[in-house]
Amino acid sequence: MIIGIDLGTTNSLVSVWEGETAQLVPNALGRMLTPSVVGLDDQGQMVVGDIARERLQTHPHLTTALFKRHMGSAQATQLGPHRFRPEELSALVLRSLKEDVERAYGKAVTEAVISVPAYFSDAQRKATRIAGELAGLKVEKLINEPTAAALAYGVHQKGDTSFLVFDLGGGTFDVSVLELFDGVMEVRASAGDNFLGGEDFDDAIVAHVVGALLAQGMPDAERPAIRHRLRREAQRVRHALGQQSETVFQLSEDGREWSVPLTQEKLLEICEPLLERLRAPIERALRDARIKVADLDEVLLVGGTTRMPLVRKLVASLFGRFPSMHLNPDEVIAQGAAIQAALKARDATLEEVVLTDVCPYSLGVEVSNSVAGQLQDGHYLPIIERNCVVPVSRVKSVQTLRDGQRQVSVRIFQGESRLVANNIFLGELEVDVPPRPAGEVSLDIRFTYDINGLLEAQVDTPMTGQSRTLVIENNPGVMTPQEIAERFAALQALKIHPRDQQVNSALMARLERLYQECLGDVREHVGALAGHFAGVLERQDESEIRDAHQDISARLEAIESGY
């Protein structure tokens, strides 16, 4: 069994192909969405998902989120005595999803298809593969998220078509234009904003509310201590305004109840600047794909934030039609990954689909250009251009610069800037050349970029017949096989919070958070519930625990939805 995983910035999901459909698999708490949050509990055990998300607020130094943004870098996160790379934090999430499937199906899982954003670079893709390895999963394939969404929507069963995938998640916005032609699916272009998502909408609401609270006389509405609660309440209000035309933002603080009424119209006004930022990436993707809005057959909505009616309205008005959204927008990518896994595992019904992807960045080398009669280093010569369909192989020739030159260093970069200084350095290769007058020795540089995002650079010197292939090993973001083996062992040795305690621990973590958040009577009430629940847990009577859990959950639901 190959599982399909959506390893998201905010939430992750796992799905398996079963009985001709992609089935999502619930986690230990019975939920499909596992927050991509990792932490340490009070016993020094690792916690992943909802428990960790609750503890982000009560134990900020022992908890971490948003690490997908650091994939492909070596940025370390300290959690208590442990130090983790982004691959390892991702691995802990993957491992938890893998175990959810193993529990549900009663068999070992060793292979996965994992989705990545279409714009992910070589280093980010490698890091994702390594995360899989560290979780004990062989990554059969990485699939681009928009391609996965298209598979979930069954676009491949509709014949030739061009469509756009609009993916607005918790912290990122991705637009991709895809084309299905002769049974071949191509991502024609991808664009986006790596710092635009639901959380930015929450921040905008918080900014508005803080203004209103200050005007109402709250002494210090901007103090960091209440920031988490403001954001949480902002998210609740934002979700609520998807169903009702007005609601009230509520906060109990300084011994009183504060409230700020909000309507859908007000929300639109607050979010306008963010909605405005959704336009540019759409235009860029259409331009890069050389396709007009009128030629798109479909627009697919992906990502939890596209549940917001005002986002849907904007999309409808931008494209002059209603987008496809009959699937849950936060589940489609995991479903598509499972479909891809099924393709891998020879399911006949979907066999005719051939998937191709695009190179998300341009890849090139440093060259010298003549500027005002003077040779100037540091210029960029793209060899593979952004958004070409992969696998791709392109060659360009360069010549020696100086008389008698004996060596040429080929420096490889990724990026779109005219100057290499602004691009990402990937690797370097020194090539010996015979001493000749400047410009007489020619080098052919061939770049081959494959479906898994791996780049091979080959430099041929026709004059000498010499050929060299570049292995980009000095990339600072990528772990060596030895490091992987060491870290795999280290992760195996970590103590993990027991699965059968997760439901109760999640409730306890929620009680602790609410105790910290609330004041006065409510706080006292929450404190009493926490004490009661701790007592019930100690008595270890299954049915008493279940009843208490249900009762307390209902009470907290009431508290959190503002009564």
Which residues here bind Mg ion, judged by CB under 5 A? 8, 169
Residue 35 is a binding residue for ligand ADP (CB under 6 A): no
What are the C-alpha distances in Å from 201 to residues 66, 204, 241, 282, 298?
16, 5, 13, 19, 26
The whole-angstrom separation of Cα 502 and Cα 529 is: 18
238 contact choice in Mg ion, ligand ADP, none (CB below 5 to 8 Å, kind-dependent): ligand ADP
What are the C-alpha distances in Å from 466 to residues 424, 461, 509, 530?
28, 5, 64, 73
DSSP state of 114: E
Residue 171 is a binding residue for ligand ADP (CB under 6 A): yes
Provide the mask over 369-408, with x wherever binding to ligand ADP is found by CB under 6 A and - wherever it is not. Answer: ----------------------------------------
308 contact choice in Mg ion, ligand ADP, none (CB below 5 to 8 Å, kind-dependent): ligand ADP
The amino acid at residue 258 is W
Residue 351: its H or E element: none
Candidate residues 69, 82, 232, 239; the one interacting with ligand ADP per rule CB under 6 A:
239
Q: Taking CB under 6 A as the criterion, which residues in 321-380 touch ligand ADP? A: 330
Nearest to 511 by CA among 499, 498, 523, 496: 523
Which residues on adjacent β-strands are paired with residue 466?
A: 461
The whole-angstrom separation of Cα 387 and Cα 357 is: 9
Q: How far is the CB of 530 from ligand ADP (least distance, A)?
A: 27
Nearest to 477 by CA among 120, 127, 134: 127
What tokens does 151 get? Answer: 């598979």
Please identify, using beta-carbon distances, which residue of 146 and 197 lies nearer to ligand ADP: 197
Residue 262 is a binding residue for ligand ADP (CB under 6 A): no
**Piece of the chain touching ligand ADP by CB under 6 A; list 152-160, 164-172, 529-537, 538-546:** 164-172
245 alpha carbon, distance to own chain's centre: 31
From the CB of residue 520, how many other CB atoms can be counted at a distance below 10 Å?
13
What tokens does 156 get? Answer: 């491949």
453 contact choice in ligand ADP, Mg ion, none (CB below 5 to 8 Å, kind-dependent): none
The count of C-alpha atoms lying within 13 angstroms of the C-alpha of 186, restricted to the half-sphere facing its C-beta, is: 17
Q: How far is the CB of 114 from Mg ion (least distance, A)?
A: 12
198 contact choice in ligand ADP, Mg ion, none (CB below 5 to 8 Å, kind-dependent): ligand ADP
Q: How far is the CB of 387 from ligand ADP (least distance, A)?
A: 22
Residue 305 is a binding residue for ligand ADP (CB under 6 A): yes
The whole-angstrom separation of Cα 412 and Cα 301 is: 36
Provide the mask over 195-234, with x wherever binding to ligand ADP is found by CB under 6 A and - wherever it is not. Answer: --xxx-----------------------------------
The whole-angstrom separation of Cα 521 and Cα 528 is: 10
Candidate residues 3, 5, 9, 101; the one interacting with ligand ADP per rule CB under 6 A:
9
Please identify, using beta-carbon distances, which residue of 62 and 302 lies nearer to ligand ADP: 302
Longest dimension (CA), the chain: 89
Q: How far is the CB of 166 from ligand ADP (least distance, A)?
A: 12
Per the CB < 8 A criterion, the answer to whether 323 and 312 are in contact is yes
The whole-angstrom separation of Cα 429 and Cα 365 is: 11
Residue with tokens 């103590």: 495
Number of residues in contact with ligand ADP under rule CB under 6 A: 21
The whole-angstrom separation of Cα 56 and Cα 228 is: 9
Residue 235 is a binding residue for ligand ADP (CB under 6 A): yes
The whole-angstrom separation of Cα 176 and Cα 182 is: 20
**Piece of the chain touching ligand ADP by CB under 6 A; list 115-123, 300-308, 382-390, 531-539:** 300-308
Q: How far is the CB of 493 from ligand ADP (least distance, A)?
A: 29
Please identify, using beta-carbon distances, which residue of 16 and 301 lies nearer to ligand ADP: 301
Nearest to 522 by CA among 479, 562, 476: 562
517 contact choice in ligand ADP, Mg ion, none (CB below 5 to 8 Å, kind-dependent): none
Q: How far is the CB of 342 from Mg ion (least distance, A)?
A: 21
From the CB of residue 399, how many other CB atoms can be counted at a distance below 10 Å?
14
Please identify, using beta-carbon distances, which residue of 4 and 8 lies nearer to Mg ion: 8
What tokens does 229 get? Answer: 């609660």
Q: How far is the CB of 333 from Mg ion (least distance, A)?
A: 6
286 contact choice in ligand ADP, Mg ion, none (CB below 5 to 8 Å, kind-dependent): none
**Piece of the chain touching ligand ADP by CB under 6 A; list 9-17, 44-52, 104-112, 474-482:** 9-17
Which residues of the shown chain bind ligand ADP in the complex (CB under 6 A)?
8-11, 169-172, 197-199, 235, 238-239, 242, 303-305, 307-308, 330
